Amino acid sequence: MIKYDLAVIGGGPAGMAAALRARECGVEKIIVLERAETLGGILEQCIHTGFGLHYFKTELSGPEYAARFIELVEDSDIEVKIDTMVLSISDDNVVTAVNKTDGLLEIDATAVILAMGCRERPRGALNIAGTRCAGVLSAGTAQKYVNIDGYMPGKEVVILGSGDIGLIMARRMTLEGAKVKMVCELMPYSSGLTRNIVQCLDDFDIPLKLSTTVIDIHGKERLEGVTIAKVDDNRRPIPGTEEFVPCDTLMLSVGLIPENELSKNMGIEFDPVTNGPVVDELRETSHPGVFACGNVLHVHDLVDFVTKESQIAGEGAAKYILGGKTDKKYVKTKGINGVRYIVPQKIDLANEGDVELYFRVGDVHKNAKIIVTYNGQEIISRKRPRLAPGEMENVVIKNDMLKNFDENGIIEIQVED
Amino acid sequence: MVKDIICVACPMGCQISVDMNDNGEILSISGNTCKRGDAYARTECTAPARSLTTTVKVSGGIHPVVPVKSAQAVPKGLIMECAKHIASLEIKAPVKIGDIVCKDILGTGVDIIATNICPEA
Ligand SMILES: Cc1cc2nc3c(=O)[nH]c(=O)nc-3n(C[C@H](O)[C@H](O)[C@H](O)COP(=O)(O)OP(=O)(O)OC[C@H]3O[C@@H](n4cnc5c(N)ncnc54)[C@H](O)[C@@H]3O)c2cc1C
Ligand code: SF4
């Protein structure tokens, strides 16, 4: 068994930023474990631009954003093991991993940061009828094929799901010479950014069909087409609206789920809405010394926020490693009336700084107000011209406010139209 | 004539109305939240341009392709042609970030540059 101060699971933007910040805070023996062949995580395949506007104040592609952190990690004394898959984490923070050169590795870590990212919902989670033929794949898998492996998965494409990944792949496939017939969206609105609808669909005359879903898949060996149908307000297909669309590829872009098998096996407390661990303001989970950040905690749309959150986790881990475990007294946070979730879910009253609360709404709102209450009393009210499920929001709880709160009190955030 | 466009300069996505006369001269612009929207609307009505990201083939590298971008925006009408041209090229590993893959693509004055490394296999 090898002893480390900090083990970071996952070498994407979250893992790298957390490790770097912990190092800056004085943590000495740090190891990053990454199962892929390079650092960088999902960014390596996100070759479009749109990253870094907040953090670097310039528009970078995914690999360029990742490269800035990979360079910093390589120049530091942080140890990195690539091609290394973490299998389990024990109750006393022993990390078990495996790779080809070392075989089975056991790392006794004082603190652990979970930064495993997320993965796409598979077809099974969707319940579409029809055959199991080739040509049905997730948009993220297609993105890896095209952008890293240089392989085109098909020529005539239908995309189900209009989140940003679906929109970006519609443009990507078109640029590589494929015909994207349409993007279908179950909801009456797209969950992607308006700019992506303009730049990725309108620019290439790709139709966006709202309130529409795929109800059947046809083909024996290879996909030959799909049946689409309009849906009603309860998202049920409307009889008589079925239409057959010939295609050889169906791409699914129907949401991401945090990759939490490891954390679930540890018995960590979970938030049923985020599908990630419940954390405090330092991103510490219910398991002492185990922190979480990035897409494993909640799905982010902007990597800039991933970086910021991971720096908080890195600082939190450093505090734990250098200062030891402390008794924490929490005030809780909760989203109500239109707010789906808040991260962090609790705040330690002894915290000495301001605390930013990140949250998402469940619907599109125009000219709405965000109201923050403490035990039912309004403490903050902010006007927002536009709120959308696809865009993460935040409010700051000032430290002098926090000082007046009590253990087991509750901070709630809601939307008022 | 009034032309409605959506500003793509930031994630707000404001709807902007541009009032033009028959000669295509801009009379007024409304609906934008900030100055960048004004500038975007003007170029969008006169000479729309987009930045392009795609991949180019690499021989002898750890991956068969490397991602590239246009150093500046290229005219919107030439996007597909530029993509086709880039798809016909092949470069040799090793590739560094910022390497020029294609100079002055299709006479637009814009260079195509690599956005990731591709070490030799
Ligand atoms: C398709 C797509 C498009 C996007 N577009 C944009 C955009 O335009 N602009 C923007 O700002 N953001 C965008 N994002 C969001 C941003 O890229 C992500 O939020 C960010 O990459 C998340 O970082 P992460 O480190 O949490 O996760 P990841 O980047 O997924 O990294 C997690 C890492 O953990 C590793 N790992 C997982 N499990 C294990 C294990 N058991 N053992 C070892 N290693 C493990 C994985 O291999 C991976 O490298 C996009 C995301 C996706 C998926
Ligand atoms: S007008 Fe300004 S605020 Fe509105 S989308 Fe354009 S850049 Fe953003």
ipTM comes to 0.92
**Separation CA B7–CA B15 (nearest Å):** 6
Q: What is the pLDDT of residues A146-160, one digit of tens each?
A: 999 999 999 999 999
Q: Note whether residue B11 is domain-resident.
A: yes
Instruction: Answer yes or no: is pLDDT of A124 > 80.
Output: no
Q: What is the pLDDT of residues A171-214, one digit of tens each?
A: 999 999 999 999 999 999 888 888 899 999 999 999 999 999 99
Q: How would residue A126 be classed by pLDDT, with cut points 50, 70 and 90?
A: low
Q: Note whether residue B14 is domain-resident.
A: yes
Q: Note whether residue B13 is domain-resident.
A: yes
DSSP code of residue A240: T
Answer whether B13 contacts ligand 2 (Cβ < 6 A).
yes
- Of the listed ligands, the closest to the CA of A138 is 1
A-chain residues near B69 (CB < 8 A): 47, 49, 61
Q: Note whether residue B119 is domain-resident.
A: no
B-chain residues near A52 (CB < 8 A): none
Which residue, among A53, A194, A196, A199, would best test binding to B if mutated, counting the most B CBs under 10 Å from its CB? A194
8 Å CB contact between A228 and A184? yes
Distance A363 CA to ligand 2 centre (A): 22
Q: Note whether residue B121 is domain-resident.
A: no
**Separation CA A235–CA A135 (nearest Å):** 25
For A69-93, what is the mean pLDDT?
96
Give residue A345's pLDDT.
Answer: 98
**Separation CA A359–CA A95 (nearest Å):** 31
Answer whether B7 contacts ligand 2 (Cβ < 6 A).
yes
Token pair for residue A101? 């050169």
Give residue A191's pLDDT.
Answer: 80
Tell me the residue ranges of DSSP E strands in A161-230. Answer: 179-184, 208-209, 212-219, 223-230
8 Å CB contact between A370 and A386? no
Q: Looking at the structure, tell me whether residues B38 and B57 fall in a common domain.
A: no
Answer whether A98 contacts ligand 1 (Cβ < 6 A).
no
**Separation CA A279–CA A293 (nearest Å):** 9
- Predicted model pTM: 0.91
For A11-39, what is the mean pLDDT?
97
Contacts with A278 (C-beta within 8 Å, 6 or more apart), sequence order:
A268, A269, A270, A271, A285, A286, A345, A346
**Residue % of chain A over a pLDDT of 70:** 99
Give residue A123's pLDDT.
Answer: 63
Q: Looking at the structure, tell me whether residues B107 and B65 fall in a common domain.
A: yes
Residue of A nearest to B73 (CA): A49
A-proximal residues of B, 12-41, CB under 8 Å:
12-13, 33
Q: Note whether residue B59 is domain-resident.
A: yes
Q: Is any Cβ of chain B less than 8 angstroms from the Cβ of A148?
A: yes
Give residue A388's pLDDT.
Answer: 84
Sign of CA dihedral B75, B79, B82, B86: positive
Which residue, among A83, A147, A164, A302, would best test binding to B if mutated, counting the most B CBs under 10 Å from its CB? A147
Pairwise pLDDT comparison (A282 vs A324), residue with the higher score: A282
Q: Looking at the structure, tell me whether residues B29 and B57 fall in a common domain.
A: no
B-chain residues near A151 (CB < 8 A): 64
CA A414 to chain centroid: 22
Q: What is the pLDDT of residues A325-384, one digit of tens each?
A: 788 899 999 999 999 999 999 999 999 899 999 999 998 898 999 999 999 999 999 999
Which of B4, B18, B36 to mutate to test ligand 2, by most ligand atoms within 8 A of the CB atom?
Answer: B36
Burial A249-265 (b: 16+ CB within 10 A, else e): bbbbbbebbbbbebbee
Q: Note whether residue B81 is domain-resident.
A: yes
Q: Looking at the structure, tell me whether residues B15 and B32 fall in a common domain.
A: yes
Distance B37 CA to ligand 2 centre (A): 5
Q: Looking at the structure, tell me whether residues B29 and B60 fall in a common domain.
A: no
Give residue A22's pLDDT.
Answer: 98
Q: Is any Cβ of chain A less than 8 angstroms from the Cβ of B59?
A: no
Distance B3 CA to ligand 1 centre (A): 39
Q: Looking at the structure, tell me whether residues B96 and B71 fall in a common domain.
A: yes
Reported as type and span, the H/E element at residue A103 is strand A103-114
Q: What is the pLDDT of residues A29-66, one digit of tens each?
A: 999 999 998 999 999 999 999 899 888 988 899 999 99
Domain containing B16: what range? Answer: 2-46
| Domains contained in chain B, number | 2
Instruction: Answer yes or no: is pLDDT of A112 > 60.
Output: yes
Instruction: Answer yes or no: is pLDDT of A125 > 60.
Output: no
**Separation CA A410–CA A408 (nearest Å):** 6
Instruction: Examine residue A344 and say whether the peptide bond preceding it is cis (omega within 30 degrees of 0).
Output: yes
Number of H helices, E strands in chain A: 8, 29
B-chain residues near A53 (CB < 8 A): 10
Answer whether A53 contacts ligand 1 (Cβ < 6 A).
no
Q: Looking at the structure, tell me whether residues B32 and B58 fall in a common domain.
A: no
Length of chain A: 417
Q: Looking at the structure, tell me whether residues B104 and B62 fall in a common domain.
A: yes
**Residue % of chain A over a pLDDT of 90:** 81
Helix axes A13-24, A62-75, angle to 10 degrees: 30
Contacts with A202 (C-beta within 8 Å, 6 or more apart), sequence order:
none
The CATH number given to whatever domain includes residue B76 is: 3.10.530.10
Contact (CB<8Å) B55/A391: no
Q: Note whether residue B120 is domain-resident.
A: no
Q: Looking at the structure, tell me whether residues B75 and B98 fall in a common domain.
A: yes
A-chain residues near B8 (CB < 8 A): 194-195, 198-199
Q: Looking at the structure, tell me whether residues B76 and B36 fall in a common domain.
A: no
For A249-271, what is the mean pLDDT?
90
B-proximal residues of A, 39-78, CB under 8 Å:
44, 47-49, 53, 60-61, 63-64, 67
Q: What is the pLDDT of residues B54-109, one digit of tens each?
A: 999 999 999 999 999 999 999 999 999 999 999 999 999 999 999 999 999 999 99
Q: Looking at the structure, tell me whether residues B9 and B31 fall in a common domain.
A: yes
CA proximity to A111, closest of A269, A285, A311: A285
Q: Looking at the structure, tell me whether residues B80 and B28 fall in a common domain.
A: no
